[in-house]
Structures are given as C-alpha cells and as structure tokens.
Structure 1
Amino acid sequence: MRTFYAAETAQHAPKTFMLRGRIAQNEERAERAERLLAGLARLDLKAEEPPAAPAGTRSTVHSIRYLEFLETAYAAWSKLPGAGEEVLPNTHPLLPGPTYPTGIVGRTGWHLGDLAVPIGPGTWPAVARAADAAVAAAEVAATGASAYALARPPGHHASREVAGGHCFLNNAAIAAEVMIARGARPAILDIDVHHGNGTQAITYDRGDILFVSIHTDPSSFYPWFWGYAHETGAGAGEGANINLPLPVGADDEAWLGAIRVALGHIARFGADSLVLSLGLDIHASDPLGGMSVTTEGIGRAGELMGRAGLPTAIIQEGGYLSEPLTDNIAAFLSGFLGASS
C-alpha cells in the first residue's frame, strides 16, 4: 500500500481550544502525525511526499473566496492593532440575510465556525499539503488500488465555506471529486467518533456520492446540530445520506455492527470505490472521548473494510494524543491489508 504524508503539515501548531467555557490546549498537535508515522513504520510502510495537486482541485469543493481567506487571513490579521497571535472569531452571522464582509474580523467570523480552528502562520501551508496527500491517495484508488493519506489537520468538519472542529479543507470530499473525475462511483464512509457534518453539507443534495457516517449521538456530542438519523439527503441526494449515530461510550460490537450496516448500504448503492474518513478517536483512550472501542476492534474494522474489496482512499481524520495511537493505526492497516491481500 502506498502512503502519503507532507512534512509541511507540522507547521500547523494551533494553541487555542475552547473546552466547556475555558481556554485549553488545542488537541490537533503535530506530535499526532509522528505517532501515526511510527505505526506505518511498524508495518514497513514508508510515507511518500505527495505531489502538489493540480490547480483547481480544492475549488471543486470549496469556494474561491474561502480558499483566498485561508491563504491570506494570518497576514491580514497580523496587521490589526493589538492583534492576537492566532486568527480567531468573535462573532458569527447567525441572523437571516447576512452580507459577506470585506474586513478581516468579519470574514473570520464568516469562515471560522468555532474556536477549534485558530489560524497561525503555518496553517495554510499545512492544510494545502494535507489536501495534496488526500488527492494523491485518491489518484491511487482511481487506478484500482488502495492508499493511505496521513492528512493533518483533518477535514471532515469543513464545509464549502466554513472551517470547524480542527478542520479547514474537506480532504475526503476533495478525494471523492478526484475519483469522480476519473469515472468512479465512490461512497464516503466516515467512522470518526464525530459526525462528518462538513462532508454531509457538501454532498447532501447529490446523488452521485453516497455518504455514510457512524458517530457518537450528536444530541450530547460535537457537532451537536447535525448527524441525526432523519437527515437522509435532499433533492437528487435524497436517500444518499445515511447517519448511524451510536450512544456515548459505544463499544466494539456496537461500532463494528454499524460498520457492517454501512457496508451493506455501500454495496446496494453500487459504489465501485471508497473514500474512508478514518477517525481513530473512537478509541477508549482518546482525549476527546465519545466511544470505548479497543485496538482489537479497530483491527477488526480494518478487516471488514479490506474484505469489502473496494479500491479505497483512506484519509486520516481524528485520533489525538494517547499512548495507543501508534498501535491503533498499525492495527487498522494491518487488518485492512491482511483482508484485502
């Protein structure tokens, strides 16, 4: 299996996170990539530097003004009198009928949906190269093989114009667009502990991509407002959005059972390829909590995905600093490769 990782992603070093009304250390730390790379090395998988994606690849998913904001926000913010060291919103356009602002503070409130996505000097290079890794994995999947992208920061909470939940560019949706452009009929399966609300927003009215998300019940967990079972798509996408929420603390059997249900939906959709949003934050030790899945369960999930037999672009989503993180990525990929060989 080919694997991709861009060293530039270490430049994204966010400091700020809002946790139950207090400022805390952001969990999206560069060290998590080091632990994931250690898991690849355990399987003798050497990560390649992805090539720069073709011009326009990101704009198949995100608006031009959003991409320009991400690229230029830190420089514009730094020119403000008394500016803080990170770009952070202090207001959001919640009332009906908002007008897109021209000032950097207003645009920050428009494009940053929460306080988990501070922008620093290295954020744009990191998110751009994370997307390049996802594109490289999708290009491999389009040839009929499978590949893994160690995309950091993750992407599944990012919608067309809004960042949130540590995510800036929706790497999974970008990967799916690459595969569609190559003539594929992909499904996106999201097994992160959090609902992939950004991916859902991007694909919700489309019938050419099936989106299935398995996650902790959002009635008591981030992202709170999306991810409920009654959200099934709209227009041409009616029936092509499937949410499988699980109770807080769900264990191996509940999670693996939902994966089996999801794979059944994918088979009935007639997908010929898969984008897998791989969140390892389902593990019982993850600092963001939510589920109680074990390393053994993660390995069994890899086996289920491998047996599905679909060319797969595996895109790293969550999975934050904990001792078993290296074990967990090694377990998943070992299970996947063992079942698909």
Structure 2
Amino acid sequence: MCLIIGHMQKVFLYLLTTMKTLNYLLFSACLLFFSGCGTEDPSNPGTDNTQTEIAIPTTGYTSPESYDGMTLVWEDDFDGNSLDPANWSHESGTGQNGWGNNELQYYRSQNTSFQDGHLIITAKEESFNGSDYTSSRIISMGKQQFRYGRIDFRAVMPRGQGLWPALWMLGSNFETEGWPACGEIDIMEMIGGSGRENTVHGTVHWSNDGSYAQFGGEKSLSNGTLADQFHVFSIEWDATKIRWFIDNEVYHEIDITPAQLDEFRRSFFFIMNVAVGGNWPGSPNANTTFPQHMIVDYVRVFQAQ
C-alpha cells in the first residue's frame, strides 16, 4: 500500500486487491471514525506514560528546509515534552473490528513519548483491557488539514513480525462521507517481518462509483532496513497527480484528474500509528521482540507560492 500510471483506465484495474482493505470495508460500514474508541486530550496523557530512554539513530536522510516555488506553511518538530493540542489528538481503544483490519493492539496515549526533539510511538506486549498489545494512534483531525503541497515525514520504523507502522491521511469529510468515499492517502506503510522491513508502500484508496478501489506501489532499499536509520517519506500532491518519494527519490505516481478520483482534490488530515498484527502483517511470533518504536523527527507541509 508503486508503479506509474498516466491513463484513466489503468486506475480501475486495482479493485479489491489486498486483505487489508477487504477488512477495512467493515470499518467503513460503521461510518464512525470513533466507534469503539475514544479521543483523548493530548495535554493529559495519563499517569503511566513514562518511557525508558531509547537509542535514537544519528544517521539517515534529512530533507531540505525549502523547495523552489514552495513555502513552508506548517511543521511540527516535536521539540516539547507533549503533543501540541493545536495540532494533534490521541485516539484510544480497539476500534471497529480491530480498526477494520483485525489488529491486536489497544491504542493508548501512554504509549507516546518525546525524546531529544522526536516523537516516539511505542508498541508493547502487555495485557490491557482485553488486548495483549498496546500502542498509540495520533490524528490531526479538526486541527490541521491540507489540500495539495509537498509533505515530508522524517522517521525511523520499528522492526519485527506483526508490526505495521503507518504515516497517512484521510479526507477531512470522513465523518460525513465515510470510508472509502473520503479518500485515503498512505504516505508510508511498512510491514514488519524478515525480508519485508526494507520496503516502503505508498497507496491511495477511494470510492469508484460506489465500489472500493485502490492503487499502490512500493520501493525497496538496496541495503539495510527502514529501522536502521532515518528516512524521509514524502508526497507531492496537486490537482492533477500524487507522487510518492523516499529520500527524495520518486517511486510511484497516480493521475487524479478523472472525475471518479475527486476525493483527492479535497483537504486531508494526518494519522500516525503503529499497529500490531492484522490481516496484512499477520500476528507477532516468537521472534518478535517488544517494545518496538516508531521515531518521528518532523512533519512539514510546503505549498506553492
């Protein structure tokens, strides 16, 4: 959830192709983003959110702070010791049908921490409210939303079978239109497990005349994994196309000019999460070690001048 298309007819060949999205349809049927979950005040994350200091990589790609013809319109560098409530909220719970994907984690704000100017989402193996794992899911819904531009996330991924980190977006009209009619843009997904942790996936999901559709591509590193050091995961998005990048190398593109893709000519908000288990990655196994961390250095949004 990387191939380049330029013709409208190719878009509609990619329908119902992954177990992730088949089960996500169950999620959309409820038409409630907060079904079976809650939204927490990021300024009051609870009493047990203390995290052991972790080793943060010092190497990796850093994106430029400016682009020709574009202006930085918003960023979060996570320099404080808590989420900025003007930007983010936590979601909690297990969602509908494991957030539509049979995921195994319970999302808690206590699994979010900050260290040396980085936001850290920690997935743990622990029993909580009937779940065997905990993690965090953070959204900018109703706070920061954007239409078009260049979006950069600098981050390090977790590792291990069953881990499923994601940096992604949903249409701001989600609560009224539901999924997939609101549209979804996955800027970065990684599936943990041997032989899979070197590959980034970029995907869009939408409603094609009432039927679910998706189109995605991927890029594998020539060496190492996405957990070894920082990489920058990006999209460039305008009224005609979306392009996906890793470390400023484009690997996937979609033409969004067809009328059936008008979801992607509206505003979107951000989501950051680390799922555990689910239809795509499968469950953790005896080789999976916990805790695991997704470390986010910054998110930046640039738009045309």
TM-score by structure 2 length? 0.35
Return the structure number with greater strand share.
2
Which protein, 1 or 2, shows the higher relative CO under an 8 Å CA cutoff with sep ≥ 6? 2
Return the structure number with greater helix share.
1
TM-score by structure 1 length? 0.33
